[in-house]
Structure 1
Amino acid sequence: MTALSPAERLIAAKTFAKTWKGRGNEKSDTQQFWLELLRDVIGMEDTTINVIFEAKTSERGYIDVWIPDAKAFIEQKSIDVSLDKADIRQGKTVTAFQQALNYANTMQFSQRPRYIITCNFDEFRVHDLDKENAEINYLSFTLEELPNQLHLLDFLVDPQKNRAVREEKVSMVAGKLVGKLYDALRSQYLEPDTDESQHSLNVLCVRLVFCLFAEDAGLFNKNAFYDYLNGLRHDQVRTALIELFQVLNTPVEQRDPYLSDQLKAFPYVNGGLFAKDEQIPHFTAEILDLLLHDVSEKTNWSEISPTIFGGVFESTLNPETRAKGGMHYTSPENIHKVIDPLFLDALKDELTQILEEPGVSANKRKKNLEAFHNKIAGLTFFDPACGSGNFLTETYIHLRKLENKILSELAGDQTQLGFSDVTLKVSLNQFHGIEINDFAVSVASTALWIAQLQANLEAEEIVTTNIESLPLHDAANIHHGNALRIDWNEVIAPEKCNYIIGNPPFLGYSRLTDEQKEDRKAIFGKDGGLLDYVACWHKKAADFMEGTQCEAALVSTNSICQGQQVAPLWQTLFDAGIKINFAHRTFVWSNEATDQAHVFCIIVGFSYVDRELKQAWTYSRAGVEYSEPTHLNGYLADAPDVFLTRRSKPISSVPEMAQGFKPADGGNLLLSPSERDELIAREPAAEKWIRKFSMGAEFINGRDRYCLWLPEITGAELKALPLVRKHVDDCREWRLAQTKTGDAFKLADRPHILRPNGKFLDGPYIGIPKVSSERRKWVPFGFVRDGMIPGDMLYFIPSDSLFVFGVMMSQFQNAWMRVVAGRLKSDYRYGNTTVYNNFVFPEVDKAGRVDVEKRAQAVLDARELYAGATLADMYDPDNDFLYPELMKAHRELDKAVERAYGVDFDGDEQKIVSHLFGLYDKLRW
């Protein structure tokens, strides 16, 4: 749902106030009134699961509207009822506010509201319970005033974000405190660097975190863990923890009858969390104080986000990630880019349809809800690179949100129909994972348990019965091992798996260890040499899903859908019958809270199920664009399934593009401006043999660089230039010192020249930087007419054709490049054999050619208007307003090139790319 603009909200509020003026019945209109207000006016997303109506309370009453994320209760009255009127409820005479407050006071502390809204369809009163005398100190406005006072209800939407912000903050603080505790405890182990001590320390921290959460969430008696340790001497803590962990692992009926009353009060936990005896070191007074007063007393562990905290906890305590600094976690926002289009959006829509289907009897509606309840309880989820379990945890949380909505509706229906049994069905047993790090396996299991326990607390308020959260009865199936070596069938049978999700390791093919290369070889054989590590999970998922309805969505490096990696991965999968159903095109994957590393990723949803609705999200500086393509190919383009190969010649009748000269000189044939000036000052005759030289960066940024250009120098001429000869001799010496199989060594007998390039003509050419910022709409190409020698980071087309230049500078060619080029981090990495040689130029008549040439010259003329500005300056999207004539010339050139192709796409890049793939598909044979 797109956020409403202020103007749209104002119009919607006026319409709403007019529609509801003078009417409203508490029994029949409350749901419609608040759904319309929250969804259509305020702009709340996911009202289906975020808003609960008629939630039962232990006071034998009902909360008319409950918005858990906003910590808000709404007590609704009919339009003819005064909000100050006192009625008899459960034997007490109470106003609307007092009635809601009584309900609030029966709830678990973590579920209690901060806000109570009372409303009678004409007047709204907002009570903030954090303020003194909240009953009389309230904000009030009428329905007629709603358009101008709408901001007073914004807290109903913003706290969805604020709750996430609060949970993130608590989780980060908790993670830092555990990290501090971890360091202190580690120093107490006799041999802290051994695997055994490391494992024991990790398990100890996991157990302490669980106890801290259980205490704050009410699973233990209030302050039970704190009180158990408080007052002990530091030298007694080790023994006390050993005894406590044994008690937590022992069923009540099997415990020592002579246990102290303190220990007897702790429940049986089960689940294997406390099952094994692990090393526990001695505590110091400082460590005990840290645990009791900072980690326990100053942190409300019931408010942590298990999704975030699991990642923070694992990266804080895992030596492999801890050494890198910072605390890492995958944001819930990014997780939802995977799970929403894969399954969650469809489930929400299905539930909404059940709840809003008109003309359905209460009994039929109940059956539909129960069937949907059974459906979500029967789904299974598998993350074959689960890490700390954040994808599984976030999925579980939202399945429980769906379940809680079902429970609230069934509770109301069953009251009307005479039923009373409402059962939890969503289980941790539905979740499966593989993780190579044994500590992360423990963290993932614990994060899921915490998520379960939090969800149970909220469910208790809906079913109004105590849910026995302890002992733990189920657990996620997290397996320790290498996912690329494990048979996934041993984790979960393919026919029983509904969805594969996750974020496999981000490792480019050039960074793999020998072991990881062997992993890849086991999946792809010898053809995997150019593939990033993450491609292994895509191939293994495709093999696993074959013959089933299972669907997958994985995060990956964007390179597997660009350049040379597309064919070896996706052609294999497409030939097997795989379809791409949705995709998030390249975006920044923000997966850290501190020391954030920007990784440029994609998300691909794929399966053997060919969804009728395809979805794609495209990210740019302007924002996110959603589209529904007819097809998605291996480049994530709405185009046929073609695979570009490295082509030695252009597919169109145009001049060839070649890579510039690789110096291979050890820096001896290249000169900085100061080195050039010094050489000419000392040896004036050398000036004849010096040329400008440019790599791509110098070309774009207008920086001077030079080289000794000596292919035609004679022996006598070189002998007369001893300083130049010194450069040549130094180059020879350097080349002789290089690996004998390398290019540089092979050029040792020609130390006066750069690496030869037979395609270079000493004349005008079009320069194309090999690497350029992804921020630019147009990669800045340009003519070179001053004899500058191109380096190997600068491609060149030996031509002065304005037509070729115009098409190359157009949005058509840039859109093609953005899809098929490789990337260096996020930057475009141009390739002559992959990008240029596969690019189909338009076939035009003389008039069309002249049109493009005229617009291309206008671009060159416009550049001349801005003396002193470099190509980098002029093509910086943050400053393009400073070059209006150039931007205008480019827009006209883009239109001319569209005319040359015989289309009118008005700059729609997806249509442009689709058209170019279609042209390529016709010519490639």
Structure 2
Amino acid sequence: MDKGGFAPTLHTSIRQFNGKLFHDATALPLSAAQVELLRLAAAADWTTVEPAIFGTLLERALDPHERHRLGAHYTPRRYVERLVVPAVLEPLRREWAAAQAASAQLHDNDKDTEARGELVKFLRRLTSVKVLDPACGSGNFLYVTLEHLKRLEGEVLAAINAYGQTGLLDLAGGTTVSPRQLLGLELNPRAAAIADVVLRIGYLQWHIRTHGLTQLAEPLLDDYQNIRHQDAVLAHGTPRPRLDAHGQPVTRWDGRTTRPNPATGQEVPDENARVAVQDYPNPHPTSWPDADFIVGNPPFIGTSRMRDLLGDGYTEALRKAYAGRGVPESADFVMYWWHKAALAVRDGHALRFGFITTNSIKQTFNRQVMLPFVGGDNAPLQLNFAIPDHPWVTSEDGAAVRIAMTVADRTRPGRAWGRLLTVKTETRPEGDDAADVTFTEQQSRIQPDLTIGAELDNAKNLKANASIAYQGFKLHGGGFIVSPARAAEIGLGKIPELDKHIQPFLNGKDLAATPRGVLVIDLFGLKANEVLQRFPAVYQHIVETVKPEREQNNRAIYRDNWWTFGEPRIKLRAAWLGLDKYIVTPRVAKHSFFLFLEKGILPDDKLVVFATNDAYHLGILSSQIHTVWSLATGGKLVDRPVYDKTKCFDPFPFPDATPAQQARIRELAKTLDAHRKRQQAAHPGLTLTNLYNVVEKLRAGHALTPKEQATHQQGLASIVLELHRDLDAAVAAAYGWPTALPDAELLAHLVALNRARAAEEKAGTVRYLRPAYQAPGHQQTGLNLPTRVATETAAAVALLPWPAELAKQIQTVRDVVTQAQAPLTPKQVAARFAGAGPAKVQPILDTLAALSLLRWVEAENAYAA
């Protein structure tokens, strides 16, 4: 098989396959049983095997830890097609439709030679297209792409043959779609080798189905070397062990191995399970081969897991390589691929790209990568296709995540247009890793948060809201949390000065569901030796339950200050000085609600804290106007909204309310807060989640179940709903807007108001929420800016150049009509171009309508998609 020729043991001639694959023909040491299995496998009919199964085999062969480290997960075929079609096939089919239309127009003018030439020109284009998967794994994306390209090629050849001449395939001359056009990058050498074979098997299967075993030149598997074994995002010098100040190798906990704590019996990191820390000299972004299209499914590794799974040295080198290039350290691993692909398209090295990512791409820390490319009025790229939230595989070895799909290319002059698909239903057939999904579709400009509507990412942070909202305390040590009984054992209630260091502790679930009733040890402001001297029992507790975990932390500040919270929130502590209470909301919750907590109750980092005790602010935040804004600007964790203070609060424009309006909102907010707390105190089993489940059903007019009826009575839910309605009306009146604005119009109003407030602040007037705290001694001037915002007029549309080639003219005219919000007359279409009048445009429109690529609207003498 390596060299071809006569095989004496087989008594027949063997074709030459490929020297690269079979040159090193080392015999494996197989047992008799393994030989028998191999013989049975060889006797099977492999001609119709699905090449994609090799991806499944590879995934199952990988060690689970290695699989997670690499972010490797097999992508089901229908998920692959869901991305490949809009990313690669749709633009090619638009080009093919334009070539057919140009051919038809020439044919109608008795120019058959030129008509056929348009089709042949597209065939050359199709057989020269390059597709890159920079995280190709076992090649599923490339294999599926190859299949679709071959189907399109068949259509092209059939159209060419319709002119009475045969579109012959010259396999040796490269005039057919083949694996040479499919490029891949893959870090795992086994996956790279499998990807190479998968493409060749797929191609040979197509050839045998179409032509039999004829026309197969040797070697049967050409050595294209188009699947590279390399890191797709980071290039560097030879890794070397990191050494400490004494020249000894630096090691870290391996992230997996634990041992029981001899004092508590709980599992803690095993300090003896160490791995060497490697340094990666001269780190810099890799170079990708030029390709027309880039597609793939890069690794799913969140920013918080990168050090654990990729190593300290690699993570630091990667972040250093991209520092100042548009990828913040807070970005997930997948966003490095997104950034590189977006650069390639922006700079003209590729036409379009599409990736499967986790659905956290919509969240603020990842959107920062997208914004320079697809955010704002002058964005260089546009999102053509997106699915913001899509199910992922749920097999035993599958990733427990939801995914998103995004496709982007260079912005075309005129209105940006894209298809946004939102999951309508999803069912998972028995024994199937992939879900069957149906969608609803919207068509308009897709924003960086993968929505259609107001340009929320263009909203500016307001000085008026600065230094008010914070995340709660991040402990980095579960041992800080104690039960009341344990707190009593270590001195609470016995040592008076300890009371201020052990206080009630709440997280999001405590607020939304049943409180745990736990306390937290807060030693902020104390040195370790002070804790030892003043509270020895507390010191021992922290040594046993917190220190072992913190000693393995990668950050020195966490290791060195092991007795205090990892994130003690110094600014928050300063902000709530002098307050008797503050406002909180869960970062992640099914329902949006805000409430007061008494000072002395400590919030964890799953709560967003607002350093204000003004019930007027509580009322604004609790209103439907703010809820609509926060749901649109925040992220999503699986199916639950995420309140991101940097997007939901910092840019949110409060109304310019009169003193009377403020008093009314303040009164309603106090009543709402007191009512909920009173009913929960009377009924300890009543949770805010259950209460608001009932409130939302009442709002929608749905019947309540017996269990919900009980919740309704315990929480007096109708009163809660009535208070919210009154509050919504009062807040809308403060803004000067109708109470029942549609969400899209409301968001547009808020974005416009944000712009007005930002301009106001730039001019020197800031409407501080807590002026005495935010700007002590500062006398701000009043500016009577109305909160009612006029609709902004659309900007003038730039003229498009008139292409020289007929097929390009047809494609551009079709794009203009397709993206128009209303049917266009030939004169209106021509007005979009520099150098083309109605006489040039009219025949193209007629041809497109005759081929059903556009629709003729007779009543308006116009054309539409």
TM-score in terms of structure 1 length: 0.57
Which residue number corresponds to residue 552 of structure 1? 353
Which residue number corresponds to residue 812 of structure 2? none
CA-CA distance at 1:910 after TM superposition? 5.7
- What's the secondary structure of 1:758's corresponding residue? helix
Q: Is 2:146 the partner of 1:343?
A: no
* Gap change, CA 1:744 and 1:811, over 3 Å in 2: farther
Is the 8 Å Cα contact of residues 657 and 798 (structure 1) preserved in structure 2? Answer: yes
Aligned-partner residue type, residue 393 of structure 1: Y
* Gap change, CA 1:381 and 1:815, over 3 Å in 2: farther
CA-CA distance at 1:398 after TM superposition? 0.8
Please give the residue correspondences for 1:632-711 in structure 2 after superposition, counting only pairs within 5 Å.
Answer: 632-633=447-448, 638-640=453-455, 651-652=463-464, 656-660=468-472, 667=479, 671-675=482-486, 692-707=504-519
Is the 8 Å Cα contact of residues 504 and 601 (structure 2) preserved in structure 1? Answer: yes
* Gap change, CA 1:897 and 1:290, over 3 Å in 2: farther
Which residue number corresponds to residue 2 of structure 2? 249
Which residue number corresponds to residue 376 of structure 1? 126
Which residue number corresponds to residue 500 of structure 1? 294
Which residue number corresponds to residue 772 of structure 1? 588
* Gap change, CA 1:812 and 1:625, over 3 Å in 2: farther
Aligned-partner residue type, residue 343 of structure 1: V
- What's the secondary structure of 2:575's corresponding residue? coil
Which residue number corresponds to residue 17 of structure 2? 269
Which residue number corresponds to residue 417 of structure 2? 614
Structure 2 counterpart of 1:529, from 313, 322, 329: 329
Matched residues in 2 for 1:799 and 1:318: separation? 52
- Matched residues, number: 641
Is the 8 Å Cα contact of residues 298 and 356 (structure 2) preserved in structure 1? Answer: yes
Matched residues in 2 for 1:519 and 1:452: separation? 36
Matched residues in 2 for 1:749 and 1:431: separation? 54
Structure 2 counterpart of 1:757, from 563, 573, 578: 573
CA-CA distance at 1:269 after TM superposition? 2.5
* Gap change, CA 1:558 and 1:634, over 3 Å in 2: same
CA-CA distance at 1:870 after TM superposition? 0.9
CA deviations on 1:544-589 (whole Å, 9 max, x unpaired) are 4414562222333444543245446643887996323235354246
CA-CA distance at 1:443 after TM superposition? 0.9
Please give the residue correspondences for 1:306-317 in structure 2 after superposition, counting only pairs within 5 Å.
Answer: 306=51, 308-317=52-61
CA-CA distance at 1:283 after TM superposition? 2.4
Matched residues in 2 for 1:908 and 1:832: separation? 24
Matched residues in 2 for 1:673 and 1:489: separation? 55
Matched residues in 2 for 1:748 and 1:476: separation? 55
Q: Is 2:227 the partner of 1:478?
A: yes
CA-CA distance at 1:871 after TM superposition? 2.0
CA deviations on 1:515-570 (whole Å, 9 max, x unpaired) are 24313322335974333333322333344441456222233344454324544664
CA-CA distance at 1:448 after TM superposition? 0.9
Aligned-partner residue type, residue 86 of structure 2: P
Structure 1 counterpart of 2:135, from 385, 388, 411: 385
Is the 8 Å Cα contact of residues 438 and 480 (structure 1) preserved in structure 2? Answer: yes
Is the 8 Å Cα contact of residues 616 and 665 (structure 2) preserved in structure 1? Answer: yes
* Gap change, CA 1:503 and 1:855, over 3 Å in 2: farther
Is the 8 Å Cα contact of residues 566 and 643 (structure 1) preserved in structure 2? Answer: no
CA-CA distance at 1:635 after TM superposition? 7.1
Which residue number corresponds to residue 39 of structure 2? 292
- What's the secondary structure of 1:540's corresponding residue? helix
Q: List runs of 5+ in structure 2 lacking aligned partners.
A: 236-283, 426-437, 524-533, 698-703, 763-865
Which residue number corresponds to residue 380 of structure 2? 578
Matched residues in 2 for 1:710 and 1:468: separation? 75
- What's the secondary structure of 2:574's corresponding residue? coil
CA-CA distance at 1:888 after TM superposition? 5.5
CA deviations on 1:640-664 (whole Å, 9 max, x unpaired) are 485678x6xx644699234445679
* Gap change, CA 1:874 and 1:687, over 3 Å in 2: farther
Matched residues in 2 for 1:634 and 1:702: separation? 33
CA-CA distance at 1:839 after TM superposition? 2.0
* Gap change, CA 1:828 and 1:742, over 3 Å in 2: farther
Which residue number corresponds to residue 398 of structure 2? 596
Please give the residue correspondences for 1:830-849 in structure 2 after superposition, counting only pairs within 5 Å.
Answer: 830-833=643-646, 835-845=648-658
Is the 8 Å Cα contact of residues 639 and 914 (structure 1) preserved in structure 2? Answer: yes
Higher RCO structure, 1 or 2 (CA under 8 Å, sep 6+)? 2
- What's the secondary structure of 2:441's corresponding residue? strand
Is the 8 Å Cα contact of residues 549 and 609 (structure 1) preserved in structure 2? Answer: no
CA-CA distance at 1:687 after TM superposition? 13
Matched residues in 2 for 1:902 and 1:304: separation? 66
CA-CA distance at 1:686 after TM superposition? 11
Identity %: 21
Structure 2 counterpart of 1:794, from 564, 582, 607: 607
* Gap change, CA 1:610 and 1:903, over 3 Å in 2: farther
Please give the residue correspondences for 1:170-319 in structure 2 after superposition, counting only pairs within 5 Å.
Answer: 248-251=1-4, 255-256=5-6, 259-260=8-9, 262-264=11-13, 266-270=14-18, 272=19, 274-293=21-40, 295-296=41-42, 301-306=46-51, 308-318=52-62
CA-CA distance at 1:908 after TM superposition? 6.1
Aligned-partner residue type, residue 2 of structure 2: N
CA-CA distance at 1:698 after TM superposition? 1.7
CA deviations on 1:123-168 (whole Å, 9 max, x unpaired) are xxxxxxxxxxxxxxxxxxxxxxxxxxxxxxxxxxxxxxxxxxxxxx
Which residue number corresponds to residue 18 of structure 1? none
Matched residues in 2 for 1:736 and 1:442: separation? 45
Q: Is 2:363 the partner of 1:562?
A: yes
CA-CA distance at 1:500 after TM superposition? 1.6
* Gap change, CA 1:384 and 1:568, over 3 Å in 2: closer
Is the 8 Å Cα contact of residues 339 and 369 (structure 2) preserved in structure 1? Answer: no
- What's the secondary structure of 1:603's corresponding residue? strand
Higher helix fraction (1 or 2): 1
CA-CA distance at 1:284 after TM superposition? 1.9
Is the 8 Å Cα contact of residues 17 and 221 (structure 2) preserved in structure 1? Answer: no
* Gap change, CA 1:300 and 1:707, over 3 Å in 2: same
Matched residues in 1 for 2:738 and 2:439: separation? 23
* Gap change, CA 1:915 and 1:893, over 3 Å in 2: same
CA-CA distance at 1:596 after TM superposition? 1.7
- What's the secondary structure of 1:702's corresponding residue? coil
Matched residues in 1 for 2:666 and 2:48: separation? 64
Matched residues in 1 for 2:65 and 2:20: separation? 23
CA-CA distance at 1:785 after TM superposition? 5.5
Is the 8 Å Cα contact of residues 369 and 410 (structure 1) preserved in structure 2? Answer: yes
Structure with bigger gyration radius = 1
Structure 1 counterpart of 2:626, from 813, 817, 822: 813
Is the 8 Å Cα contact of residues 402 and 638 (structure 2) preserved in structure 1? Answer: yes
Matched residues in 2 for 1:460 and 1:897: separation? 72
CA deviations on 1:159-201 (whole Å, 9 max, x unpaired) are xxxxxxxxxxxxxxxxxxxxxxxxxxxxxxxxxxxxxxxxxxx
